[in-house]
Amino acid sequence: MSETSAAPLVSIEGLKMYFPIHAGLFRRHVGDIKAVDDISLEIFEGETLGLVGESGCGKSTVGRATLRLYDITAGSITIDGTNTSKINQADLRRFRPRMQMIFQDPQGSLNPRMNVADIVGEPLDEHMSLSRDERLARIHELLDAVGLNRSFANRYPHEFSGGQRQRIGIARALALNPKFIVCDEPISALDVSIQAQVVNLLEDLQKKFGLTYLFISHDLSMVHHIADRVAVMYLGKIVELAPRDQLFNSPLHPYTQALLSAVPEPNPARQNTRVHIVLKGDVPSPSDPPAGCNFCTRCPKAIDICHHLEPQTIEIEPGRFAACHLLESATKVA
Amino acid sequence: MPEKRPAVLDVKDIETVFNTRRGTIHAVNSVSFSLEPGELLGVVGESGSGKSVTMMSLIGLLPTPPARVTGGYVKFDNIDLLKADAQQLRAVRGAKIGFIFQDPMTSLNPVLTIGFQLMEPLRTHMGMKKAAAKKRAVELLDLVGMPDAERRLSDFPHQFSGGMRQRVVIAMALACDPKVLIADEPTTALDVTIQAQILELVKDLRRKLGMAIIWITHDLGVVAGIADRVMVMYGGQIVEQAPVRELFENPQHPYTRALIETVPDIGAERPERLRTVEGQPSILYARPSACSFRTRCAHAFERCGKENPPLLVTDKAHHVACFWDSATGEPRNV
Ligand SMILES: Nc1ncnc2c1ncn2[C@@H]1O[C@H](COP(=O)(O)OP(=O)(O)OP(=O)(O)O)[C@@H](O)[C@H]1O
Ligand SMILES: Nc1ncnc2c1ncn2[C@@H]1O[C@H](COP(=O)(O)OP(=O)(O)O)[C@@H](O)[C@H]1O
Ligand code: SF4
Ligand code: SF4
Ligand SMILES: [Mg+2]
Ligand SMILES: [Mg+2]
């Protein structure tokens, strides 16, 4: 579906999202958590861009900043032709219907005191003025779309299973006919047998309504299934971005290589043919990233220069981006 | 035929119920298995299938009430753990059977240094003097790959990352040279690259120490990589059990087959749609008198609603609880 000839629906340039650290008696600003540190990417109309990386690397922050749930530190965000990066929160309301979010924890993101009809209907009440009948008809239409029985409309979230709650969250996100949806770990809290149901639903809805997804996940097998292109994050930066098959078949960046090799292999027959790259140590703190390449403290291929010079993102082949000194010299030689 | 060594743990017909306001939940229904010395037994199944409750029943870790183990025996070290008194159980739990939980903070006390927490069982169960216990504590931390072990003895749990905390918990579980280690989803909360580190560590520890391990997980990829034998649970019962390769190459129970098919496989051709198991597991308010999987099973037929299939031995080491014969695609003649 993702043809690079399509126009980008979302473009992000030089996005930074820093969270200030305050300390001491006078709550002085002593530093920043660089949750997202200068990333650029485009998401094409109708495609799914997967965003992967380890816990704390900044995936959710990218998603939330893209929807302007934060006032961003720097950079520009353009969604469907509108530059939303500088619009104040009050004026953003007008744009909210176009962009929505689905959360990881279907339990926590649904108000336990509201019934399903009100949860799904709330965005309609906020942004449209429908008659009672129109409202109910729309709610039923949405429940049908996500495969929930209309008779559930009067029930409360605690009466549902995790997978059903996620469907309620999806119905709510669809209420205002959005073009763009950020799915932040939408299946992580679900059981394997239920995950596949939700992923199939997201794919069906995408086809039916022409949706564009930013699909955030740490589950690489699911991203392999659902994404057209994939961006890999490490410590606030995108280290590699490529079409799905290229990224999975021939990862270029040492971190992507290690991340893919760490995915447990569900086929015991292939177990011994896999190369295992076991990274040493932990991810450094985003408030104190290392000098040079962010990955240099764990990179099995690091060379001298990596410890003091930050690698630039380069387009290695059309549509394939990576940031690593080893790849710079490779392209120079070529 | 090689002589069979006696099992380290012999579990027979365990039944566990929870008394709740809504009724009695039959969480574990006649579970039997044995654990060979040095073996790694993987236990898989979706959440609520009874994995944790089964293992916690073995060594009296469940809160009573609401839980009650109503039947069966657990032979370990020539005693029946279900009949053991509190003092005997404490001795077994602290020293002979180690337990690791999903959340390392379940096992760690946030206000005590990890040095103290590691040395405590060594002094009470092994009667070590302070200096000897300290030396052993450093050895244990080295063993689990903790850099700078000696200095870190005086650190508190919050000063460690999630992966490092899980290493500390593994060190604690290994402190008194257990014969059996029970690990309940020990890597589920960790990132893949950190999970890969822990899995390498466990393989290495097995080679060095040779204890038997029960590894609970919902991730088939994880069991494929480390288990010798796998037990699949559904509705509080073992529905299939086989050596790891046999299970993946020749899964016989419809639930196991579905589980293997729903997990997307990075190494294989990407299917247009994911296979799903429709529906969701139901909570058992009575002892099952029919197959618990029948509402979701594509092969269910009349008999499945009338009797609960017993665990049949289909091959020397392959056991399956199903009336349908996967080899012929027909009902079984038993
Ligand atoms: N509101 C906030 N204030 C301060 N720090 C924050 C805030 N939100 C996120 N961070 C920090 O920013 C970094 C990135 O967080 P983020 O939630 O984006 O990670 P993530 O990749 O989504 O992780 P996970 O996989 O665990 O969801 C982390 O170090 C986090 O602690
Ligand atoms: N404290 C409890 N009170 C009531 N029911 C419980 C309790 N703990 C577990 N159960 C029930 O026991 C069954 C098995 O749970 P569990 O062993 O935790 O599943 P698993 O570890 O396989 O995810 C489930 O139906 C669960 O709801
Ligand atoms: S720039 Fe250096 S440290 Fe960074 S990924 Fe490349 S080789 Fe590794
Ligand atoms: S016994 Fe019947 S319902 Fe149960 S798994 Fe087998 S075929 Fe399906
Ligand atoms: Mg997140
Ligand atoms: Mg459990």
Provide the shortest C-alpha distance from residue A244 to chain B (in Å).
Answer: 11
Please list all protein residues whose beta carbon sits less than 5 angstroms from ligand 5, which is an ion.
Answer: A 60
Contact at CB, B193 and A258, closer than 8 angstroms: yes
Residue of B nearest to A258 (CA): B193
Could you tell me if B59 and B97 are in contact, meaning their C-beta atoms sit under 8 angstroms apart? yes
What share of chain A has pLDDT > 90, as a percent? 63
How far away, in angstroms, is B275 Cα from ligand 2 center? 27
- Return the number of other C-beta atoms located less than 10 Å from residue A70's C-beta: 15
Cα–Cα distance measured from residue B239 to residue B227, given in angstroms and rounded to the nearest whole number: 17
Confidence of residue B3 (pLDDT cuts 50, 70, 90): low
Q: In angstroms, how far is CA B205 from the centroid of its own chain?
A: 17
Chain-wide mean pLDDT for chain B?
90
The complex's ipTM?
0.80
Contact at CB, A200 and B267, closer than 8 angstroms: no
The pLDDT of A61-71, averaged and rounded, is 94
Provide the shortest C-alpha distance from residue B230 to chain A (in Å).
Answer: 12
Strands annotated E in A109-208: 180-184
pLDDT at A27: 84
Nearest CB to A221 within list B194, B225, B263: B263
Confidence of residue A113 (pLDDT cuts 50, 70, 90): very high
Q: Which residues of B touch A279 (CB under 8 A)?
A: 193, 196-197
pLDDT at A334: 40
pLDDT at A247: 96
pLDDT at B27: 93
Closest listed ligand to the CA of B184: 6
Per-residue model confidence as pLDDT tens digits over A157-203: 888 878 888 899 999 999 999 999 999 999 887 888 788 888 999 99
Name the H helices within chain B. Answer: 51-58, 86-91, 114-126, 130-143, 149-152, 162-174, 192-209, 220-226, 244-249, 254-262
The pLDDT of B48-58, averaged and rounded, is 93
CA-nearest residue for atom 28, ligand 1, is: A56
Q: Which residue has 């991340």 as its token pair?
A: A259
CB pairs under 8 A between A and B: 122
- Return the number of other C-beta atoms located less than 10 Å from residue A150's C-beta: 14
Confidence of residue B292 (pLDDT cuts 50, 70, 90): very high
Strand partners, B25: B18
- Return the number of other C-beta atoms located less than 10 Å from residue A245's C-beta: 13
pLDDT at A188: 82
Cα–Cα distance measured from residue B273 to residue A22, given in angstroms and rounded to the nearest whole number: 49
What pTM, to 2 d.p., does this model score?
Answer: 0.86
- Interacting residues of A310 by C-beta distance below 8 A, sequence separation 6+: A292, A293, A294
Per-residue model confidence as pLDDT tens digits over B97-130: 999 987 888 889 999 999 999 999 899 888 999 9
Q: Does A163 touch chain B (CB under 8 A)?
A: yes
How far away, in angstroms, is A264 Cα from ligand 3 center? 24
Contact at CB, A196 and B274, closer than 8 angstroms: yes
pLDDT at B166: 86
- Phi and psi at residue B251, in whole multiples of 5°? -65, 135
- Phi and psi at residue A113, in whole multiples of 5°? -90, 0
Name the strands in the sheet holding A8-23, side by side, starting at the edge strand that comes first in the sequence: A28-44, A8-23, A74-79, A82-83
Chain-wide mean pLDDT for chain A?
90
Q: Which residues of B touch A193 (CB under 8 A)?
A: 46, 258-259, 262, 276-277, 280
Q: In angstroms, how far is CA B46 from the centroid of its own chain?
A: 12
Provide the shortest C-alpha distance from residue B245 to chain A (in Å).
Answer: 6
pLDDT at A9: 96
In this structure, of A98-102, B48-52, B161-165, the range with the lowest mean pLDDT score is B161-165
Provide the shortest C-alpha distance from residue A328 to chain B (in Å).
Answer: 26
Nearest CB to B266 within list A200, A224, A258: A224
Nearest CB to B221 within list A263, A269, A282: A263
Cα–Cα distance measured from residue A239 to residue A38, given in angstroms and rounded to the nearest whole number: 11
Tell me the residue type at A165: R
| DSSP code, position A250 | S
Q: Which residues of A touch B192 (CB under 8 A)?
A: 54, 218, 220, 259, 262-264
Q: Does B275 touch chain A (CB under 8 A)?
A: yes
Q: Give yes or no for residue B148 having a pLDDT over 90.
A: no
List ligand 1's pocket residues with C-beta within 6 A. Answer: A 19, 33, 35, 53, 55-61, 218, 286
Q: Please indicate whether residue B304, judged by its CB atom, sits closer than 6 Å to ligand 4.
A: yes
pLDDT at A41: 96
Strands A48-52 and A212-216: parallel
Q: Which residues of A touch B197 (CB under 8 A)?
A: 278-280
Contact at CB, B221 and A266, closer than 8 angstroms: yes
How far away, in angstroms, is A35 Cα from ligand 1 center? 6
Contact at CB, A221 and B163, closer than 8 angstroms: no
Would you state the structure tokens that stand for residue B144, as one six-digit string? 């689990």
Per-residue model confidence as pLDDT tens digits over B28-39: 999 999 999 999
In this structure, of A297-301, B109-113, B119-123, B274-278, the range with the lowest mean pLDDT score is B274-278
pLDDT at A24: 81
Interface of B with A in 70-109 (CB under 8 A): none
Cα–Cα distance measured from residue B286 to residue B181, given in angstroms and rounded to the nearest whole number: 32
Nearest CB to A197 within list B193, B259, B276: B276
In this structure, of A307-316, B70-79, B191-200, B207-216, the range with the lowest mean pLDDT score is B191-200
- Considering only residues A193 and A216, tell me which one the structure prediction assigns the higher pLDDT: A216
pLDDT at A331: 56
Pocket mutation for ligand 4, best pick of B238, B293, B308 (most atoms within 8 Å of C-beta): B293
In this structure, of A73-77, A109-113, B189-193, the range with the lowest mean pLDDT score is B189-193
